[in-house]
Structure formats: structure tokens, C-alpha cells
Chains A and B, each alone.
Chain A
Amino acid sequence: MPKLSNLSYKNQRILIIFLFSLIPVALLVTFSYLPVFKMFQYSFTSWDGLSKKMEYIGFDNYKTIFTKPEYFAVFKVSLYYFFATFVQMGLALYFATILSFNVRMKNWFKGILFFPTLLNGVAIGFIFLFFFKPEGTLNTILDLLGLGALQQKWLLNPQLINVSLAFASVWRYMGMNFIIFLGAISSIGSEIYEASDIDGANRWHQFRHIILPSIKRILQLNLILAVSGAIGVFEIPYVMTGGSNGSGTFVIQTVDVAFKYSKLGLASAMAVVLLGIVVLVTILQRILIKEET
């Protein structure tokens, strides 16, 4: 019987590394690469998703997408989420900075801020549906505060609907940004703060000259993720409005094409296009940010 110890140390190492990576790689291939490969394959067919017949139609699906402007019109909605990204990162950075100093009930606040990240996206959709109802939480609070004049039909007003949805999105994802920033800020040594205290720096100086330069990398990373996230917004508008009243996004449209109109081939092509856009934006951002530094 072959024994592991019969092998040379180098081969043992290789074998063990191989065995340990087998499962994660298998999972990765099964659930990430294979589906993406299949998606590319379907994007060249006119398949309806169930039928046994799959007809290859070449680049027709891509032609359809790029010749019909209505498929791209929805990217306008992404702009709301793009701007909300900056609000979200600003808030996250603000809270992370404050809570990295000595504050009373620090952990309690951390818990509160991180909590929304733990909730299921569908649940959040429903919570905010009640929140934005005409007789819902938000309008009730405004009334109690004597701001009854500001009451709105948050999801009915076409000027407000995307702002409302982006707000829900900020509420949901801010905690994640916050925890990443907090982690990065915690890694700054306390002696640097002490030294700056002695030099007479106030909190703003510390933030401007110590914290910000130290977490620059993390800031960039979060920005890239946030922007590509803004392009692929899905959950919140899908659960709350189903993309109606002008709140539809590209991903919602893709899902509609696939499952409402049974055009899985076309939907796959749309998914490929979205993937391409995200990759492109990410690369662009990296180049631009590099130039700045």
C-alpha cells in the first residue's frame, strides 16, 4: 500500500495542496465558470429556456441588443445608485472614523450600523415597502415631527421613486462599507495618533493626514466595487416595485426577458453585455486611479 511518507517532502506538499484545493476548485468550476461558459453558449441561441430544441443564431441576439435603444435606456436609473454610492461611502467613512476613536457605547453603535447587512434583501424590500407607503412609517414620522408638509408618496412620484429606492439601498449596504473602513482604520498604530496629539493635531487633522492616506487602497477598492454594483442593481427595486414606474434596471430587464418572455438566449446575451460593461468600468477605474497616485 502506498504511503504518503514514502513520497518526497516536495511531492507530499504538492499532493496535499492538490487534495485541499480539489473541493473549492470543483465548487468554483461548477457554480461559477461552467454557468458563465454556458451563458456565453446560450447567448448565441434562440432558446426559450425549456424546449428541447436549441437553435444557434450567431450574433443575432447581440445585434438586437445594440440596435434597440430601449435596452440601454435603463442605465439612466443606475445613475441614481451611482450617486448614492458616494453618499453611502461618505457616511460609512464618517461613522468608521468616529467609532475608531473612544466613544461611549462604541460596540453598540457598531452593531446597529452593521445590522442591515445581515438581513435578507427580500426582507429589506418588504420593510421599506411599508416604510414608504402613504400611511407608512416615513410619513408618520414626518407628521410627528411637525414636518407634515414634506409628506410624499415616495414610490408613486416618478421624481422620487429612484431616490427612495437608492436610499433603501444605502441603508442596506452602508454597514458593509463601514465595517471594511473600520477594519482598515483599526490597523493604524495608536502611537501615530499619540505623536500627532503631541504635535497639536485635532481630530480633523488626524483624519485628513493620518487616516485618509492610510486607507486609500481600501477606499479605492470600495469605490470600484460600489460602481460596478451600481451598474448591476437588482434586488431592492425588484422586490419593492418589480421595476415598474420607471425604476427598472438592466438586470431586472434581463430577468424579465428571460422569464416573462421566455427568451433565454437574448437574456444570456444581455448578461454577457452587462458582464462586459462591469469589466470595462473596473479596468477604466483602475487605470484612472493609478494615474492619480
Chain B
Amino acid sequence: MNKTKAVTGLAALALMAGLFSGCTSGNNNATNAAATNAGGSTDTATEATAAPEGDAAKDIKGDITVITQRTDIVDTVFKEYAAKFNEKYPNIKVNFEALSNYEDQIKIRMSTNDYGDVLLLPTSIAIKDLPDFFEPLGKKSELEQQYTGLEERTVDGISYGIPITVNFSGVIYNKKVFQDAGVTEVPRTFDQFSAALKSIKEKTDAVPLYTNYASGWALTQWEADLATVAGDREYVNIGQVASDDNFVPGQPHYELYKVMYDAAKDGLIEEDPTTTDWESSKADLASGKIGTMMLGSWAIGQIKGLAANPDDVGFMPFPTNADKILVPLSDDYNLGISIHSKHKEAARAWVDWFINESGYPTVEGGGMSPVKGAELPEILKQFEGTDITFDTLAPAKAGEEGWVDAIDKEAEIGLWQPDFKKVIIEAAIGNRKQSYDDIMKELNDKWKAARAKIVSAK
């Protein structure tokens, strides 16, 4: 709107362009590194660094940098981890770096060679490109004996990351609010859930369903419940890819977001979604000002931490009309090692120790440990012996890996982006002329066109 604005506009362009150019300069170097590495991924697998056990542990030396997304505990809990780690590996010095907006910042860092030794694999990087950036951790067939959840970040049978925790997704709710509203039984179907929200609205002062619209990312949490709505662990990676009708009535996506639309339309969400605040929403759920929020298990610990009575915070599966209730388990971020690390053995030692011995997956991560045979977290024990099953998603068919993502990006739908969820809420509260069916039709058209393009290209 004036000089500075014009400058800002240009600066934004220049900034973006700068990012791009930064990417190439790093790109060339990395290409060389990748070329030497790409000698055959099977070779590299056998060369995967593995940390020795016992006395040999004392011999590993090195100074490693661990990059994490946990800005909240990097100076407290992580420092304690480092101290414990040093009891076993006295000659490794661990430095931490925490990024507040992990996904975006690390992607830019990764265009250089300097992105720490141990880091979380960004979810937005294409799976097939992982070998260019990360050290192989071993053959999946071998690592599988020890860990679950490896299939999400595996290329050609080689694993590049181990999940820091395994999440389950669904509805986090305040039991006290449900009680006050007279809802005694945990709602299971769409109708029961919607009835529960309505009674909360009528009988209490709480917001029945808080969307966290303004934060954006919180809306993407809904997508994780797709498998529950489908009631089928194969739907997400296999069924979806095989279908041209991903967003038509009766299909899981349609039913899933219909819950969101109906709640918003019936005034069961917050008064002004455009100005919601994530941090305060956690406290509000804990104190009973909010009835439900759609989140992953990772949030349970954070919300309980703010509650006067932590037992009020409960978890239930997303409502579904499927025959059985499936709560999908999915990886949180995967932990991996930079291909440019100078102390790969030391880095590997940290990865193994962090997953197996630090206690992070269940305590701080709030989900299940990826280590096979590990104990279930407390909150899940209530579901033992019920008809609710917890299961990982079936991986894509061979040769179709990454198709969901490729179609999604090509179509600019954004399954894991907030955009169309925001549109749904805007339409539901009357800010847009589109109906729910219009939105779904538009998405389906995009899906269909992009799917045709991706399928024919492969």
C-alpha cells in the first residue's frame, strides 16, 4: 500500500526466490553426495551404521547435534536424557537444537548440508527422496523384529527412520462435561455423537466441539480419523488410491467431514472460529469449558498436565457407522540420521537409546512405544477386552507407494492441510454460498482428474 508494502511484496518474492536459489546451491553438492550413495541402496543397507553394545559403547566418540521440535522441553527433559545417555556413552557430547516451526524450518535447512546429526524426518519430503538426505538404518525385514511403524518411511526395503512414538487418533473429551450433559454412554455412531454434542450445548456452558480453526493445523488432525470412519485399515493407502469417488456421499471422507460440517452448522462449535487460540484451548478442555476436540494421543499428556483433575480428560474413538471400531495407529515423526553427519556411529547410538531407553515415546510423546512388546499406555488399558481394536494402517500396494500424497499434491486438495476444512466450516456458518455437497463435489473432481494423471504417469 506504500513504499514499505511494495518492498515487502518484492521482498516476499525475493525471499522465496532466495529460498529456491539456496536450494539449488545446496542441491549440487547434495547431488554428488547422493550419487556416491546411490551406488545401490542394497549396498548401503548393509553398511548401515549400528551402535555397538557393552564396553565398545565407551569407545564411540563424537559431538552430535540433535534437532527436535520440542521447544517446550529441550532445556529440561532433553538435558536429563543427555545426562543419562552419557552414563552409557561417556564420550559422546550431545547438543540440542529446537525449532519452533519444525516442518518449515528443517525443509529449508535441508537444502544445505548442515542439518544436524540426528533429526526428525520431515513428513512433507517425498518418500522416494529420503535416501538423498538420510542414512539408512537397516533392512526393514531385520528392523521389523524390533520395531513397529517402519513401513511409513521405508524405501526399497530399507528403513530411514524409526518413529519417536506411535500415535492413535480420535476424540479427546472432558468426562465431567459429558456427565453434566447427561451423556452416560460413550457415543459410538455419528447419531450418538451428534446427540451428545447437542446435549452439551443444551445442558452446559461448555463449547461442545472446539475446532481450533485459526491454528489451521489442528483441523488436519481430523484426517487421521479416516480409517476409523472407513472401519478398514486398508482404506487409506489402498482403497482410496483405487477409487475415483473419494468424496461422494457414503464414502469415508464425505462422512468424516460431515461431522465437522453438521457441528458447525448447528452452532455446536466455538462462537468465533477465526480467533481461536490453541494454547488456551488445551486449558479450556482441561477445565471443562470445552467438551471435545479431535486430536491425536500426543495431546493427551499436554492437556492432562493443565487439568486440575487429570482423570476428567478422556479419549474415545472417532464416531463411525462401520461394523467394528478401528483406532488407527500411525507414526509420529520418525527419527533419522543425516547423510552428512560426521559421527554416524554416535548418532546411531543416540537414535537407539532415545527410542528404547529414554522413555520418550510413552512419557513425553504420549503415544505407544514403537518397540515391539512394550507396555500399552495407561489411557488405552480401558479399551482392553472391548470391541475396539488398535491397528496400524495397511501400507500401499507395491509400486503404489506415495500415490495418495502424489495425487493429493497434484490436485491441490490438501488432505493434510487445513484449507478445505476451513472452507467446510466457513460454509457451515454461512460465510460461503457453497453447500457441503458443492465442496465435496469440487474435491472429488480434483481428485479424479489428478488420480487419472498420476495413475497414467506411473
Contacts and interface: CB of A to CB of B under 8 A. Distances in A.
B128 to A, nearest CB: 8
Interface in A201-241: 222, 225-226, 228-235, 241
B125 interface: yes
B216 interface: yes
Nearest to A136: B275
Counting chain A CB atoms within 10 Å of each CB, the highest count among B3, B27, B34 belongs to B3
A32 B1 contact: no
A95 interface: no
A185 interface: no
A256 B124 CA distance: 13
Interface stretch (B10-18, B173-181, B293-301): B10-18
A100 interface: no
A133 interface: yes
Interface stretch (B65-73, B90-98, B246-254, B409-417): B409-417
A50 B23 contact: yes
Contacts of B107: 49-50, 259
Interface string B202-222: 000000000001101000000
Counting chain A CB atoms within 10 Å of each CB, the highest count among B16, B110, B272, B431 belongs to B16
A245 B9 contact: no
A124 to B, nearest CB: 12
B152 interface: no
Contacts of A233: 1, 5, 9
A229 B17 contact: no
Contact of B16 (A84, A170, A258): A258
B20 A49 contact: yes
Nearest to B128: A51
17 contacts: A31-B14, A36-B14, A38-B21, A51-B126, A134-B275, A153-B272, A155-B274, A156-B274, A173-B2, A226-B2, A229-B3, A229-B6, A229-B9, A231-B9, A232-B13, A263-B409, A267-B16
Contact of B111 (A50, A235, A241, A275): A50
Interface of A: 31-32, 34-36, 38-39, 42, 48-52, 81, 84-85, 88-89, 117, 121, 129, 132-134, 136, 153, 155-158, 161, 169-170, 173, 176-177, 180, 222, 225-226, 228-235, 241-242, 244-246, 251, 254-264, 267-268, 271, 274-275, 278
Given A52-B30, A134-B271, A153-B274, A34 B21 contact: yes
Contacts of A242: 214, 216, 418
B432 A234 contact: no
B223 interface: no
A53 B244 CA distance: 29
B380 to A, nearest CB: 33
B24 interface: yes
Given A155-B275, A229-B9, A169 B4 contact: no
B213 to A, nearest CB: 8
Interface string B419-445: 100100010010110000000000000
A110 to B, nearest CB: 17
B31 A52 contact: yes
B273 interface: yes
B3 A222 contact: yes
B129 interface: yes
Contacts of A225: 2-3, 5-6
B16 A39 contact: yes
B129 A51 contact: yes
A181 to B, nearest CB: 11
Contacts of A89: 2
Counting chain A CB atoms within 10 Å of each CB, the highest count among B5, B10, B429 belongs to B5
A160 B6 CA distance: 24
Counting chain B CB atoms within 10 Å of each CB, the highest count among A136, A241, A245, A259 belongs to A245
Counting chain A CB atoms within 10 Å of each CB, the highest count among B1, B27, B31 belongs to B1
A225 B9 CA distance: 11
Contacts of B426: 158, 244-246
Given A225-B3, A244-B426, A234 B9 contact: yes
Interface of B: 1-6, 8-10, 12-14, 16-18, 20-21, 23-24, 27, 30-31, 34, 104, 107, 110-111, 124-126, 129, 132-133, 213-214, 216, 271-275, 409, 412, 414, 417-419, 422, 426, 429, 431-432
B275 A133 contact: yes
B432 A261 contact: no
Contacts of B129: 50-52
Given A50-B126, A232-B9, A261-B409, A254 B2 contact: no
Contacts of B3: 176-177, 180, 222, 225, 229
Nearest to A267: B16
Nearest to B129: A51
A268 B24 CA distance: 14
Main secondary structure of the interface of B (DSSP, over half): helix
A271 B17 contact: yes
Contacts of A173: 1-2, 4-5
B17 A36 contact: yes
A232 B2 contact: no
A165 to B, nearest CB: 11
Contacts of A258: 16
Contacts of B274: 153, 155-156, 161, 241, 244-245
B181 to A, nearest CB: 24
Contacts of A158: 426, 431-432
Contacts of B5: 169, 173, 225-226, 229-230, 232-233
Nearest to B23: A49
A85 B2 CA distance: 8
A39 B13 CA distance: 9
B124 A274 contact: no
Given A42-B20, A52-B34, A260-B417, A132 B2 contact: no
Contacts of B124: 262
A110 B419 CA distance: 42
A159 to B, nearest CB: 9
B23 A176 contact: no
A265 to B, nearest CB: 9
Q: Give the top 5 A-B pairs by smallest Cβ distance, nearest first.
A: A232-B9, A229-B5, A35-B17, A39-B17, A38-B21
A84 B5 CA distance: 13
A260 B414 contact: yes
Given A38-B17, A176-B3, A222-B3, A129 B275 contact: yes
Contact of A261 (B9, B13, B414, B431): B414
